[in-house]
Amino acid sequence: MVTPVQSAATLRRTYPIYVTVVLFTLVVGSALIGVPAFAFVYGYTWLDWTMFGILYMITGLGITVGYHRLISHRSFLCPDWVKAVLLIAGGWALQNSALKWGADHIRHHAACDQDADPYNAQRGFWHSHCGWLFSDGRYSDEKYASRLKQDPVVMWQHRYYGLIFLSGLALPFVVGFLYGGWVGGFGCFMLAGVGRTFAVLNSTFCINSVCHLWGSQPHGQADSSRDSWLVSLLTFGEGYHNYHHTYQSDYRNGPRWYNFDPSKWLIFTLSLLGLAWSLRTASAAEGKALHS
């Protein structure tokens, strides 16, 4: 809910609630009914499953590396064209533009477990997982978006977000059509488009829900954030959430070499290629505590 100290001038609903309801219903209904129905009638090909895996990885990393660690936390810097590629990949995930996603996420860290937290886990699993999308408190506070609005690449992606997302659905259809005609195109669209979108959405939602309700807190108990290695397997390293809340700007969510964190591996690889720099980590003192 909106607290009294937040003025109506700075708060507004990001978009009409019916837009969320329609999109959510289409994605969930198509994923839970359409995807298995197509499998029963026609079946999926090796190409459909390959495209599902490739696009799951691309869009998942677009969210974790692009939307989360680069845009929201400025954990590293990169050329504008690399940033644009990451934001296109993140845009294919149907999680809103980087501007709105980042503003919500910054607000989450600023007011974790409080009324102003968009995905407040204190309100239960379903609210923090996806119920917050329909909440009366689904508002945008402009102060959390002010820094992001100064980034021309972020604003470019925001302006063309609709086209970017639609291109992510068109890609598997075109690939499938070239391989197997109309049936092949529709099959690849259903599995690698709709099914993959549903899978990436829910894996990301698990960070807001599972990683604030179940797991360990080895790095701090200032809020409800928790580490979950299982969620990390699904989200390219984002499950080390207690560490992330403790050291928010660190480009690593899993700080130890054996932590499964493909997002940090991608960022580090980009740095080796000269395509990322100023990688931020915990301070020297904090690092000693991590390995003690």
Q: What is the pLDDT of residues 149-162, one digit of tens each?
A: 999 999 999 999 99
Q: Stretch 11-33: mean pLDDT, rounded?
A: 79
pLDDT at residue 196 is higher than 70 = yes
Predicted confidence at residue 15, as pLDDT, reads 63
Predicted confidence at residue 133, as pLDDT, reads 85
Q: Stretch 117-138: mean pLDDT, rounded?
A: 85
Instruction: Give pLDDT tens digits for 33-88.
Output: 999 999 999 999 999 999 999 999 999 999 999 999 999 999 999 999 999 999 99
Per the listing, tokens 């609210």 go with 127
Dihedral over Cα of 242, 243, 246, 251: its sign = negative
Among the listed ranges 41-45, 137-141, 169-173, 265-269, which one has the minimum average pLDDT value?
A: 137-141
Predicted confidence at residue 219, as pLDDT, reads 94
Predicted confidence at residue 286, as pLDDT, reads 52
Predicted confidence at residue 9, as pLDDT, reads 34
Pairing mode, strands 139-141 and 11-13: antiparallel
In 3-state terms, what secondary structure has residue 139?
Answer: strand
Predicted confidence at residue 140, as pLDDT, reads 61
Better-scored residue on pLDDT, 261 or 22: 261
Please give the DSSP secondary-structure letter assigned to residue 219. Answer: S
Q: Structure pTM?
A: 0.90
Do 263 and 236 touch, CB atoms closer than 8 A?
A: yes
- DSSP for 240-269 reads BHHHHHHSTT-S-SS-STTS--HHHHHHHH
Report which of 165, 166, 193, 233 is spatially closest to residue 47, judged by C-alpha positions.
Answer: 193
Better-scored residue on pLDDT, 60 or 22: 60
Q: What is the mean pLDDT of the chain?
A: 90
Among the listed ranges 90-94, 137-141, 191-195, which one has the minimum average pLDDT value?
A: 137-141
CA distance 161 to 153: 12
pLDDT at residue 176 is higher than 90 = yes
Strand ranges in the chain using DSSP code E only, listed in sequence order: 11-13, 139-141
Instruction: Give pLDDT tens digits for 231-268.
Output: 999 999 999 999 999 999 999 999 999 999 999 999 99
pLDDT at residue 142 is higher than 80 = no
**pLDDT band of 147, cuts 50, 70, 90:** very high
Predicted confidence at residue 89, as pLDDT, reads 98
Tokens linked to 270: 């980009």
* Residues composing the chain: 292
CA distance 289 to 254: 15
CA distance 88 to 77: 17
Predicted confidence at residue 10, as pLDDT, reads 42
